[in-house]
Amino acid sequence: MVALTSGAGAARAETPSKPLSANDVSILFPPPKAPADLVNLIAVSDLTGPTEAPQRLFSGEDFARFIANAENPERDGVPDSGARRIQLPDVVKKIDAWFVAGIRIDPGAPGLSADVIAQFGRQPQIRLIIQPVTNGPQGLKVHDTAGHLIFSFNLEPDPPLDGCAPFPRFKPDDVAFRAIVRDVASLRDQLAAGKFGNVKVSTAGDMNVHPGLVGASAKPFRDAVKALLEKHLSPKRLNTMAVMGISPPEPWVFVSMLRVPQAGLIPVPGPTLDGVHAAQMFSILGETHVVPRPATNNQNPTTCRHAALQNPPLALANRKGVSTADFIDANVPNSQVLEIVNVIADTKKSHFFNTDCVSCHTETAQPLARKLQGFAVRGVNRAVLPKEDWNVRNFGWFPSFLHGGPAAATITRRAATETTEVVTFINSQLLNK
């Protein structure tokens, strides 16, 4: 185990840290291929909070609600939208089956542009992308299911803008988040100096499976990353989650969740849907592939008005935007497809509250599969780009039910543009401050 704070560490802190790179803040673990690979992963059930009051970061109660919300996302009496339900096999309803596939360190959700911050504030987060992995008679299986556990670092928020309640404007706890940034930089420097496995590893370059999590450095660096998480995270910071699961072998269904007073962890109506339905589906089969059809708002000036828990929700007539459903469920010219995916990948225009889940999880795979002229993904190693149009992973592991074989490590253009924004903000606003 590597100490994250020590006298030596304090001395090093006096020397300005070098700028962080994309792989420092978007940490992708290699997908396991055999049971022996699991030792280099972090089991969700093994993550505990601060040492003074150790308890599991993802409690049994929260995990049970996470599973229940995934399988039953809609409130009683809500009309059927046509979206199917996630059906989780019993083996993944045990927390021991879940592992950390990726870690995203983000100084400001839902975005870092001035316009987004003016409307929503800025919420620093550490997001864990978790996926179930089981070992059965047929061998090791990475399931086509993923969750997001979102730990936030806030001070008392500012009041919401008119019409935007119940969501306040987030106020960042930058003191707490700068401590995370310092520790991330320290791990990067130790890795480069050969402190993990006696091999010097650079994190510079295009986004990929984290270079410190392969080879001789994998296990000691994994241990250090786990220590960093347990130092800075606590159960009380976990107030937002999301899940993507299937009704085998498809469709893929997306559900977001939020902890609210009294009711606890609830499914949240989609911000770009009708203000009622929480689940959105992406399907190969059937005439309509995206259900419900979103009504996005990523071509209007940025606003904190949307359809999630706001009364009344933002009216459909007042929204203007694009989604990948516009070309997945219609024949449009390639030039228009390119315009659509460019908007969705643009962090200044699109974010969680104005762009649907399916769009953000298909904006790279779909144009790549179509060999769209003019479409390019910068800053991502070609090895981890999605190879088929049904890969809906944004940052994680994709097991292909069409082609089989090992799960594919995946990073999309949207993940890359978000990471570029994060790295720029951290290096200019938080590092060495």
**Neighbouring residues of 189: CB distance < 8 A, sequence distance ≥ 6:** 12, 17, 18
Name the band, by pLDDT with cuts 50, 70 and 90, for residue 389: confident
DSSP 38: G
Residue 50 pLDDT greater than 90, yes or no: no
Calpha distance 400→394 (Å, rounded): 14
Name the band, by pLDDT with cuts 50, 70 and 90, for residue 402: confident
Name the band, by pLDDT with cuts 50, 70 and 90, for residue 15: confident
**What is residue 12's predicted lDDT score, i.e. its pLDDT?**
44
Name the band, by pLDDT with cuts 50, 70 and 90, for residue 4: low
Cα dihedral across residues 235, 240, 244, 247: positive or negative: positive
**What is residue 10's predicted lDDT score, i.e. its pLDDT?**
44
Strand partners, 154: 172
Name the band, by pLDDT with cuts 50, 70 and 90, for residue 249: confident
**What is residue 61's predicted lDDT score, i.e. its pLDDT?**
96
Q: For 275-329, how does the pLDDT look when each residue is reduced to its tens digit (9 = 90+)?
A: 999 999 999 888 899 999 999 999 999 999 999 999 999 999 999 999 999 999 9
Name the band, by pLDDT with cuts 50, 70 and 90, for residue 9: very low
96 closest CA partner among 138, 63, 71: 63
Q: For 225-244, how does the pLDDT look when each residue is reduced to its tens digit (9 = 90+)?
A: 999 999 999 999 999 999 99
Question: Average per-residue pLDDT in the chain?
Answer: 95
Strand partners, 149: 128, 241
Q: Mean pLDDT throughout 332-353?
A: 98
Q: Mean pLDDT throughout 183-210?
A: 99
Calpha distance 9→157 (Å, rounded): 33
41 closest CA partner among 57, 28, 59: 28
Residue 109 pLDDT greater than 70, yes or no: yes
- Backbone φ and ψ for 61, nearest 5 degrees, come out as -65, -45
Enclosing H/E stretch for 131: strand 123-136
Residue 403 pLDDT greater than 80, yes or no: no
Q: Mean pLDDT throughout 215-233?
A: 98
Residue 13 pLDDT greater than 60, yes or no: no
Residue 8 pLDDT greater than 60, yes or no: no
Find out whether 146 and 237 touch, Cβ atoms under 8 Å: no
Q: Mean pLDDT throughout 11-37?
A: 90
Calpha distance 346→417 (Å, rounded): 7
Give the tokens for residue 412: 């999309």
**What is residue 1's predicted lDDT score, i.e. its pLDDT?**
40
Burial of 272 (0-12, 13-18, 19+ CB in 10 A): buried
Name the band, by pLDDT with cuts 50, 70 and 90, for residue 53: low
**Neighbouring residues of 219: CB distance < 8 A, sequence distance ≥ 6:** 39, 40, 197
Q: Mean pLDDT throughout 107-126?
A: 98
Strand partners, 380: 207
Give the rounded distance of the alpha carbon of 12 from its chain centre: 32
**What is residue 6's predicted lDDT score, i.e. its pLDDT?**
41
**What is residue 14's predicted lDDT score, i.e. its pLDDT?**
65
Calpha distance 119→331 (Å, rounded): 35
Name the band, by pLDDT with cuts 50, 70 and 90, for residue 2: very low
Give the tokens for residue 14: 């006096």
* Alpha-carbon separation of residue 55 from 44, 122, 233, 319 (angstroms): 12, 28, 11, 44
Query: 151 versus 137: which is more confidently predicted?
Result: 151
Strand partners, 256: 242, 268
Calpha distance 67→407 (Å, rounded): 23
Give the tokens for residue 67: 């599973």
Q: Which of 24-28, 245-249, 389-393, 398-402 has the lowest mean pLDDT?
A: 398-402
**What is residue 119's predicted lDDT score, i.e. its pLDDT?**
98
